[in-house]
Structure 1
Amino acid sequence: MGHRPRRPRASRPHQRARGLPCRAGGWRLRHPGLGGIRPTVNITAETEQGTVVGTRGPLAVVFHGVPYAAPPVGRARFEAPAPPPHWSGERDARLPGPNAPQPRRDRFGQLDLSPFFADGWHHGDDYLTLSISAPPEAHRAPVVVWVHGGAFLAGSTRAPAYDGESFARDGVVFVGVNLRVGAAGFLRLPDAPDNRGVLDVAAALGWVQRNIAAFGGDPGAVTLMGQSAGAIIVMDLLGRPDIHTLISRAIVQSGTGLGGLTGEQADVVTGALAAAIGVAPSAAGLADVSDEELVAAFPRLMDVDITRPGARAPMDGIVRYGVVSDRQPLVSLPDGAGVGIPLLIGSNLDEAALYVPQSDRSDASAERALHAAAARLNADPDTIVEAYWRPDRTPDEAHIALLSDGMFGLGTRLFAEAHSRAGLASTYVYEFEWRSDALQNRLGASHLMELPFVFDNARMPSLHGPDRLLGDTPPPRDLAERMHDSWIRFVTEGDPGWPAFTGPDGPVQRIGRSWTVQHAHRSAEFAAWGR
């Protein structure tokens, strides 16, 4: 992080108004030394389990691998998270530790995604942990708890793109969560609780409530933020009756309120996995199966059809693990406390461009794909095609637009409408439109594209190049700063700086080379899907 000089903190109006922390928290400095090219010192913090040793640099105090739950080993991989053990002495939290068992996903087709998935699985049992970046002088600072994406299959706090230093630099305590993914986190089993990865996030939020003051954070000002699979986890949690005791705001990026698996769909996945491995489809049957075997078996699930009568495959079938519920997050929201929590929510204009093979994007192929996607995703495909295949779009552009909304955009907009309709807390909606020229100008404003701007790390070299997310042409110089500042403003004040959404024709902040607030933005396209 820190790829360019920043304005002095006092010149940022939303931070002056908030009165961000300026006096020291309860840090204890020890063992001066050097870390990398910048001076650091070791620093300790006291948690309810024991003392952790992190590092203090010029911009942030950082702790890695801080446990919020006990290591999930053997049968415990399929149980609810248990409290972390206590320890005596000091626990070294200066370097990243293990992460959840997962396949390597640093390339996605032709695209290099190593900034978002690092180098894959780092083995070790003690991976239900947090990475914490805090302002050096933090005292009752606002807190962000980050839930990564990765199709419920991969991801961790080790990813360079999720470095929380930019948040710490701007007065926010950033907490990244390592959670169970894959079979351990989301495989439905008759003798185990569903959605163990979601239970992990809830356990992490409970730990934050009890401990974050020791890192300079305010437990009464916690924003839960997630992207993609992480966004769907946030949506699911917003439908729970006790979520108001754990968080005060929420940010949902590129999720969908229609992203849940029904119990029947999840059972199909369970049966297929158990058959592939040759064990009973239960936690007892899987107890002695190694993590390596579970990870290796996953590719065999992608050929399993999980479409069922009345239940399409979520996100057009790109996932096999996921949040399991017979009520979609969109349906559960009105019954949960999340309707009373301010919400910042949005998606990217060309989400689906990440998932459509470049070889399938000629006009003839795209026209066939357009009609096929409409038939998969809606009971009235002709109406959907008519709404999206406008004179100003090629067949490929129409296909990407339709598929993007079918996978993410529609479920995002309907969730925003449901939250706004309750009228108990403000809803702020955005659509991210800046288009990358990566993959020969075919990637556009795809899934993941907003992340370097939210984290203000768009200058990271590993994001640039013809096969990397941001392509060869640099984005506008102020786009990352402005978008990151809007997120900081929402975290600190509950208002990102544009008008609140008020329903289907309400204002939407369009974020791209220019910023435009537009009413009824793409309302005709969303209306074509029906209800």
Structure 2
Amino acid sequence: MIVRTSSGLVEGKAEEGVLAFLGVPYAAPPFGSLRFRAPVPSSWEGVRPAVTHGHAAPQAAGEDIGLYAPDVFETGADCLNLDIRTPSPGAAGLPVLVWIHGGAFAIGGNGAAWHQGHRFARDGVVCVAINYRLGFEGFLALEDAPLNRGVLDWLAALEWVRDNIAAFGGDPGNVTIAGQSAGAAAVATLLTMPRAQGLFRRAIVMSGSATLVATEQEARDYAKTLAIRLGIEPARSAFARLSPAELVAAQPPPLTGDSGGLSESVPIKPVVDGDLIPAVPLAALPASAHLPLLVGCTSQEADVFVRRMAADVSEAALDHLGVEAGEPGRTPAERLGRAVTEHLFTRETRWIREARPAYAYEFRWESPVESPVGGGRVGAVHNLDLPFVFDVLDAPGVERTAGPDAPQALADAMHAAWVRFARTGDPGWPLDHLRRF
């Protein structure tokens, strides 16, 4: 089927009883003369095929750690694109869910297997998943270049949805933005941005943070330090002489550091500039209290990773670190894993709930699978809630992470709650009540 957008005509394909329009540009490729610039509108002549995922942003190759789907992203210049799944472009007034992927603002893409939106579309929700600039391309604070280019990409995508989603059956006045991990931090940030007001009606923050930002001084200092290391000036013109691959190679791993919380562990992130992002989102969240919010995390986000690294930790070492005793019977590694989960994720979710009213959940179902990378059972690990929310327990990698008997009834319950929230702003339990899955 062919749909007319403000950028040009696109032709999608049938997919499990819904229609998919994949790799649709919402802005021009941000390279060449547009590198390190704000996004600009895209257009094309004729009918553009929209039947395969578009490019993800340049990034380091993902490591298959044996826990998640072995996603492989085709990266490239035309990375400012989005995927749309709809019950029917001929429909009208359907709720819209816009998904922002995670990956520490450094990796990931909308083609990841665990958050494909066809089953939201099956259940009457137009699902849009966006790509955006990552790492230094999107967030490095360069002279003569706008700050927060990745954030400007989020805005450009939401503006494109506002202007075009009716052509796919969606209601531009009934948009929910949602994300997980860094994508959830993006949602929390958008909730507090004046330029984002009116582009969405409600929000979902999964395993996210409202403090995952840098000050402008921190961002400028980081860019200067990097420029010294590379032997160039911290300016757009100097960095533009590096190829995207060279710039990716200069980036640190997606997660670095081991203290100070999640923000200090993510080196590249949005910048509080006093304009686009006026303040640390957590401080500004109360002003968004009129927008329904669903927020939560898993109960063992980082446990298995920490247990793997801390297999030989002693009780004395934990006492020295000030780690509380916790539940009786836990090994030192288990105690440390739970402490890190609390430090990086649980308290961030709690801070958001304390800042403003929200529907809250906790994903507690524990995978019985033994982690192939060590650390014991996978448990309720970071990312495991995704295939339940998207109702894709049959997606690649789910069985090796969740086992062959992952409960479909749990996926039915979580997916239905997210669908209800996208439709009405009420997931099905009382406000400020913690719903455990």
TM-score normalised according to structure 2 size? 0.91
- Correspondence 1:342 to 2:272: no
* 1:119 positional shift: 1.1
Partner of 1:294: 247
Partner of 1:17: none
Q: Secondary structure at the match of 1:459?
A: coil
Once residues 127 and 187 of structure 1 are traced to their aligned partners in structure 2, the CA distance between those partners, rounded to angstroms, is 17
Q: Secondary structure at the match of 1:417?
A: helix
Correspondence 1:147-158 to 2 at 5 A: 147-158=100-111
* 1:83 positional shift: 1.5
Aligned with residue 38 of structure 2, among 59, 75, 80 = 80
- Correspondence 1:431 to 2:386: no
One-letter identity of the residue aligned with 1:105: G
Cα pair 1:260 1:328 within 8 Å, conserved: yes
* 1:124 positional shift: 2.9
Aligned with residue 318 of structure 1, among 265, 268, 286 = 265
Q: Secondary structure at the match of 1:63?
A: strand
Q: Secondary structure at the match of 2:214?
A: coil
Aligned with residue 344 of structure 2, among 385, 407, 431 = 407
Q: Secondary structure at the match of 1:126?
A: coil
- Correspondence 1:250 to 2:203: yes
* 1:454 positional shift: 0.5
Partner of 2:234: 281
Cα pair 1:185 1:197 within 8 Å, conserved: yes
Which sits farther off after the overlay, 451-460 or 346-355? 346-355
Structure 1 unaligned regions, length at least 5: 1-42, 373-381, 421-426, 502-506, 512-531
Larger gyration radius, structure 1 or structure 2: 1
One-letter identity of the residue aligned with 1:51: L
Which sits farther off after the overlay, 214-223 or 86-95? 86-95
Once residues 257 and 66 of structure 1 are traced to their aligned partners in structure 2, the CA distance between those partners, rounded to angstroms, is 29
Q: Secondary structure at the match of 1:443?
A: strand
Once residues 304 and 183 of structure 2 are traced to their aligned partners in structure 1, the CA distance between those partners, rounded to angstroms, is 17
Once residues 494 and 300 of structure 1 are traced to their aligned partners in structure 2, the CA distance between those partners, rounded to angstroms, is 37
Q: Secondary structure at the match of 2:79?
A: coil
Q: Secondary structure at the match of 2:352?
A: helix
Once residues 41 and 294 of structure 2 are traced to their aligned partners in structure 1, the CA distance between those partners, rounded to angstroms, is 31
Aligned with residue 445 of structure 1, among 367, 380, 385 = 380
Once residues 316 and 330 of structure 2 are traced to their aligned partners in structure 1, the CA distance between those partners, rounded to angstroms, is 11
Which sits farther off after the overlay, 398-407 or 323-332? 323-332
Aligned with residue 100 of structure 1, among 51, 57, 64 = 57
Cα pair 1:370 1:399 within 8 Å, conserved: no
- Correspondence 1:487 to 2:418: yes
Cα pair 1:435 1:444 within 8 Å, conserved: yes
Partner of 2:281: 329
Correspondence 1:35-434 to 2 at 5 A: 43-74=1-32, 76-84=34-42, 86-108=43-65, 111-115=66-70, 118-120=71-73, 122-136=74-88, 138-299=91-252, 313-315=260-262, 317-325=264-272, 327-335=279-287, 338-353=288-303, 355-356=305-306, 358-362=308-312, 364=314, 368=317, 371-372=320-321, 382=322, 385-386=323-324, 389-391=326-328, 393-420=330-357, 427-434=358-365
Once residues 337 and 368 of structure 2 are traced to their aligned partners in structure 1, the CA distance between those partners, rounded to angstroms, is 16
Once residues 487 and 79 of structure 1 are traced to their aligned partners in structure 2, the CA distance between those partners, rounded to angstroms, is 35
* 1:355 positional shift: 3.8
Partner of 1:510: 436
| CA separation of 1:249 and 1:354: change in aligned 2, threshold 3 A | farther
| CA separation of 1:104 and 1:483: change in aligned 2, threshold 3 A | same
| CA separation of 1:265 and 1:55: change in aligned 2, threshold 3 A | same
Once residues 397 and 75 of structure 1 are traced to their aligned partners in structure 2, the CA distance between those partners, rounded to angstroms, is 51
Correspondence 1:19-38 to 2 at 5 A: none
| CA separation of 1:355 and 1:315: change in aligned 2, threshold 3 A | farther
* 1:180 positional shift: 0.4
One-letter identity of the residue aligned with 2:87: P
Q: Secondary structure at the match of 2:367?
A: coil
| CA separation of 1:480 and 1:83: change in aligned 2, threshold 3 A | same
* 1:321 positional shift: 0.7
Once residues 320 and 12 of structure 2 are traced to their aligned partners in structure 1, the CA distance between those partners, rounded to angstroms, is 54
Q: Secondary structure at the match of 2:289?
A: helix
Once residues 88 and 300 of structure 1 are traced to their aligned partners in structure 2, the CA distance between those partners, rounded to angstroms, is 40
Once residues 493 and 301 of structure 1 are traced to their aligned partners in structure 2, the CA distance between those partners, rounded to angstroms, is 36
One-letter identity of the residue aligned with 2:107: A
One-letter identity of the residue aligned with 1:510: R
**Matched length:** 427
* 1:233 positional shift: 0.7
Structure 2 unaligned regions, length at least 5: 274-278
* 1:138 positional shift: 3.1
Q: Provide, for residues 79-104 of structure 1, a one-character-per-residue CA deviation record: whole Å limited to 9, x for no partner.
A: 211122x2221111111222100111
Cα pair 1:106 1:113 within 8 Å, conserved: no
Once residues 254 and 292 of structure 2 are traced to their aligned partners in structure 1, the CA distance between those partners, rounded to angstroms, is 38
Q: Secondary structure at the match of 1:251?
A: strand
Which sits farther off after the overlay, 249-258 or 474-483? 474-483
Once residues 95 and 188 of structure 1 are traced to their aligned partners in structure 2, the CA distance between those partners, rounded to angstroms, is 33
Once residues 216 and 353 of structure 1 are traced to their aligned partners in structure 2, the CA distance between those partners, rounded to angstroms, is 42
* 1:278 positional shift: 2.4
Q: Secondary structure at the match of 1:245?
A: coil
- Correspondence 1:498 to 2:433: no
Cα pair 1:75 1:287 within 8 Å, conserved: no
Q: Secondary structure at the match of 2:161?
A: helix
Partner of 2:276: none
* 1:354 positional shift: 5.2
One-letter identity of the residue aligned with 1:414: W
Q: Provide, for residues 291-345 of structure 1, a one-character-per-residue CA deviation record: whole Å limited to 9, x for no partner.
A: 0001111248977x7x9xxxx754174321112227421012234xx32210000
| CA separation of 1:367 and 1:76: change in aligned 2, threshold 3 A | farther
One-letter identity of the residue aligned with 1:135: P
Identity of aligned residues (%): 42
Which sits farther off after the overlay, 199-208 or 393-402? 393-402
Runs of 4+ in 1 over 6 A off after TM superposition: 300-303
Cα pair 1:351 1:408 within 8 Å, conserved: yes
Q: Secondary structure at the match of 1:107?
A: coil
One-letter identity of the residue aligned with 2:280: Q
